[in-house]
Amino acid sequence: MKIHSTNYKNTFILIADDCPAMAGEMPPAKGDMRTVAGMQFEMISRNPYRYTSDDVFFQVYADRNELTEGEYAEARAQFFSKGQPCFRASPLTKRYGWGVHSDSNGKIALYGCETNEYKRFSDDASLIIVKAMKTGK
């Protein structure tokens, strides 16, 4: 079975051109429900450069589907057997003003679009710079 990955290395994902946020914003909860964006934000912001994007997307999927750890290996292989959207399509980069930096090992961290670090990464010629996808056409 072919495995598809969402991981980038030495890459910085800029916010979308039509992102309404002027600074990195914490995604709001919807009542008692945690949103996908909220779960992604929590996982990455509390653990910068600990996880790859594949790790984050799968863990959010596993949590939302109430998988047990014993089910992870088979479920992860199945999950990545088809292509998954990457952080270019995440609400974090499209709506909430967060840039995503992937280091040389593919581990990721978030940087608010208002920060000096965001500016530094966006101007770093040693990185691959890509933009998040626009929400509108």
Query: For the segment 34-73, what is each residue's pLDDT rounded down to a tens digit?
Result: 899 999 999 999 999 999 999 999 999 999 999 999 999 9
Residue 53 resides in a domain: yes
The number of distinct structural domains making up the chain is: 1
Tell me whether residue 4 is in a domain: no
Angle between helices 36-46 and 53-64 (to 10 degrees): 130
**CA distance linking residue 84 with residue 81, whole number of Å:** 9
On whether residue 109 sits in a domain, the answer given is yes
Average pLDDT, the chain: 94
85-109 residue pLDDT tens: 899 999 999 999 999 999 999 999 9
Q: Is residue 61 part of a domain?
A: yes
Does some domain include residue 101?
A: yes
pTM of the predicted model, to two decimals?
Answer: 0.92
Confidence of residue 137 (pLDDT cuts 50, 70, 90): low
In a domain, 136, yes or no: no
Q: What is the CA radius of gyration of the chain?
A: 15
Q: How far apart are CA 30 and CA 67, in angstroms?
A: 22
Nearest in space to 119 (alpha carbons), one of 23, 19, 3: 23
3-state secondary structure (DSSP) of residue 129: strand
The pLDDT > 90 percentage for the chain reads 87
Domain assignment present for residue 1? The answer is no
Give yes or no for residue 32 having a pLDDT over 90. no
**Phi/psi at 110 (5° precision):** -105, 145
Question: What does the pLDDT average to over 4-21?
Answer: 96
